[in-house]
Amino acid sequence: MKDKVFTELDRLYDEMVRLRRDFHMYPELSFQEERTSRIIADYQKELGLDVITGVGGNGVVATLQGRKPGKTVAIRADFDALPIEEENDVPYKSRHQGVMHACGHDAHTAIALGISKALTSVKDELEGKIVFIHQHAEEQDPGGAKPMVEAGAVKDVDAIFATHMENYIPVNHIWHSNEYILASCDDFKIQIRGHGGHAAFPHDTTDIIAVGSQLVSSLQQIISRKVDPLKSAVLTIGSFHAGKAPNVISETATIEGTVRTFDEEVRNDIYRWIKQITSHTCQAFEADYHIDYDFGYPATKNNKMMNELLINAAKDVINPDNIIEISPNMGAEDFSYFLREVPGSYFFTGSANEEKGLIYPYHHPKFDIDEKALLNGSKVLAAAALDFLSNKDN
């Protein structure tokens, strides 16, 4: 049956390309994906799948029921875009000013729809169910995965798989991890307040820029002096705003940053240390402060058994020499919410092609992919789903 599905996916390649380019031309930002959601739902309904719309927001869940009873496996594909002005000169360039599919979600969606159509052609041979989770709003916290989980999207699912286009990886390659593959992502904003005044008389003021600078320096020492060196973490200050004139000491300053970790204990410790250091630093300089701390997506941790199943399935598609186990990176993904509920695996599908100039990373205004990745990703995901359903030992 797997060979039949691969043959059907080969036949559907041009259709997947067309779908991907259509989504690319008409991108929609997180929580605004009305057209995309409608097209997905209509496509799956035409195939005869049981379709539920409005799942946790703009999410769509489509279920393919095989003729024979069995387990349930899910394939997840996100479909939102980014607030980026596209710079590519291609026929399928974004028609929406300031919005672009710069992260491959258009490809993820085309892959899922192609798999759905290919598997529909063999549904009389299928054992169990395949659930297609079309997720909205991955790019913007609080994301779409959590509300979809809360709405029951994976209630009866036994395993789940997902991929992401990756332009750090050449096409015809797969990168994976048996454990953590992506970090948690938390953001914070610290507002510092004091008494402003003339730059010539700092003793009559609370020099908020000096306080903020000391705070930034102290916060950076959390990673080097508070976190166990055998446990990874990143704390980055991405924004520091204060003052408008060279001869005025400002009354306020705002510092914003992000924290990335894998270990939940470290994650909570860093939150506690940020509060403690901010309090003591501001107290020392007689400044007031306020902290907004947003716990975002948790770390993405694969299930070892499901990842090994996926990688074995990938060997039917990708040269085994090009299937590479990697260390986790500090990016983040709300697919982590699904993996907290259901065992599964998230992997990277190589989409770069240096000869074609397709080398720009995601979130870049010139991001584009080698569309051969559509075929690779669809075959690997379909093979993993079929192998899971046919394996009685899972």
Q: Which residues are catalytic?
A: 80, 138
Residue with tokens 């609370």: 206
How far from the centroid of its chain's Cα atoms is residue 257's Cα? 19
How far from the centroid of its chain's Cα atoms is residue 253's Cα? 31
Burial 359-368 (b: 16+ CB within 10 A, else e): bbebebebbb
Task: Tokens for 157, please give them.
Answer: 């699912």
337 contacts 297 by C-beta, under 8 angstroms: yes
Torsion angle (degrees, nearest 10) of CA 382, 388, 391, 392: -140
Residue with tokens 């490809």: 107
E strand residue ranges, the chain: 50-55, 59-65, 68-78, 127-135, 159-170, 174-176, 180-182, 186-193, 197-198, 233-242, 248-249, 252-261, 288-295, 300-301, 323-325, 344-352
115 contacts 379 by C-beta, under 8 angstroms: no
DSSP 10-31: HHTHHHHHHHHHHHHHS--BTT
**CA atoms of 359 and 366, how far apart (whole Å):** 9
Which of helix, strand or coil describes residue 350? strand
**Sign of the CA dihedral with 149 first, then 153, 155, and 159 last:** negative
In this structure, the number of other CB atoms found within 10 A of the CB of residue 82 comes to 22
192 CB-near residues (< 8 Å, 6+ apart): 208, 211, 212, 215, 252, 253, 254, 255, 282, 287, 288, 289
Burial of 234 (C-beta count, 10 Å sphere; 0-12/13-18/19+):
middle
Q: What are phi and psi of 84, to 5 degrees?
A: -130, 140
Nearest to 15 by CA among 50, 60, 46, 51: 46
